Chain A
């Protein structure tokens, strides 16, 4: 399966079965995630036969709505619950991407997920990478899923 298709399939599956929120693809793949404003990014690293990072970039108000739906409780601001939920989204996406890149599950290791958040920041690779940036849309707003793989 094409890596873009797998990311789309996994994202929709995660949101449908666990976040309890409808999500659709919001247009064609982008060249870059660009400048991220008032957002939170969850990311997880891949190391081994494939090296790179999987990230999900979510505007704060969308992350709050996603976390509220995910946990089934009201969330009002970017707090530990939001950071944990966004990290777990990255973890699930990364784990599923690993399953199609890995031969046997042992040739690629995943890092622990982490998050960054800020008023304005960029997410760029320091080395030459194959880049996939896929836009998604929910009723609360849009977000991006990005995969960088070392060439």
Chain B
């Protein structure tokens, strides 16, 4: 059975690249939703059935950390797993993201194999 994924990144290029990497990694998604920042991601999660979120950290309006914090306070979405995809891989930032519920992190630049290695076990 497929899953629905939400890609959160202010770069439309990166959203396309992540979507392409998911397909190249052979990960099976029925729908790929997109949002350009944390605020828009919350709107998608309020309306759509999403199984997994892949989110950037450094974004305008609401960054990835603030998104995690807000999402954790909403009962209808707090259990949806989030993986960070970012150039921001400092231990403090990733540690903070994980403390707020992020399941893991993928460092940019990445390959489809790296995406599969981190997300694959979670989706099986």
**Chain A interface (Cβ within 8 Å of chain B)?**
10, 13-14, 17-18, 67, 70-72, 80-81, 84-85, 87-88, 91-92, 94-96, 98-99, 102, 104-106, 110, 112-113
Contact with A along B44-62 (1 / 0, CB 8 A): 0000000000000011100
Q: How many interface residues does chain B have, given as a range?
A: 20 to 34
Most buried by A among B60, B86, B88, B110: B88
A18 interface neighbour in B17, B58, B89, B93, Cβ under 8 Å:
B17
CB neighbors of A among B58-82 (8 A) = 58-60
Q: A84-B11, A112-B58 are in contact. Are A13 and B90 (CB under 8 A)?
A: no
- Please give me the residue from chain B that is nearest to A106 by CB atom: B92
B89 interface neighbour in A10, A99, A110, Cβ under 8 Å:
A99
Chain A at the B interface: SS class: helix
Contact across chains for B10 and A13 when beta carbons are under 8 A apart: no
In angstroms, Cα B90 to Cα A105, docked, is 4
Cβ of B31 within 8 Å of any chain A Cβ, yes or no, is no
A104 interface neighbour in B13, B58, B91, Cβ under 8 Å:
B91
Contact across chains for B90 and A88 when beta carbons are under 8 A apart: no
Contact across chains for B88 and A13 when beta carbons are under 8 A apart: no
B13 contacts which chain A residues (CB < 8 A)? 67, 70-71, 81, 84-85, 88
In angstroms, Cα B80 to Cα A71, docked, is 29
Contact across chains for B90 and A92 when beta carbons are under 8 A apart: no
B17 interface neighbour in A10, A70, A96, A102, Cβ under 8 Å:
A70
A70 contacts which chain B residues (CB < 8 A)? 13, 17
Contact across chains for A95 and B11 when beta carbons are under 8 A apart: no
Contact across chains for A105 and B58 when beta carbons are under 8 A apart: no
Most buried by B among A18, A71, A80: A18
